[in-house]
Amino acid sequence: MTDRLDIKEDIMGCQGILDDLRALSWRLDDIQDQMDPLDVATVVRGIETLYEIKFRKLWDSFNEFQD
């Protein structure tokens, strides 16, 4: 059974996207001449996939809570 705490934890997990994007931005600024563009694309796709999963989990928790 999903409760408010579960939803809160899922929301907090999704908020990490800002920290992840800042870390990626910092790293790219640091090594922009050394990192292959394909590697950058792979990292970005990985972050995208991770947050699709997190947002889907949040949505599922929200729907379960509503029932």
Taking only the tens of pLDDT, the chain with its 67 residues reads: 888 888 899 899 888 888 888 888 887 777 767 878 888 888 889 999 999 999 999 999 999 988 7
Name the residue among 60, 41, 38, 37 with its Cα closest to residue 49.
41
DSSP state, 50?
H
pTM of the full predicted structure?
0.73
**How many domains in the chain?**
1
- Residue range(s) defining the domain that contains residue 17: 4-66
Structure tokens belonging to residue 44 = 């970005």
Structure tokens belonging to residue 26 = 């910092």
Given this model, what pLDDT does residue 52 score? 95
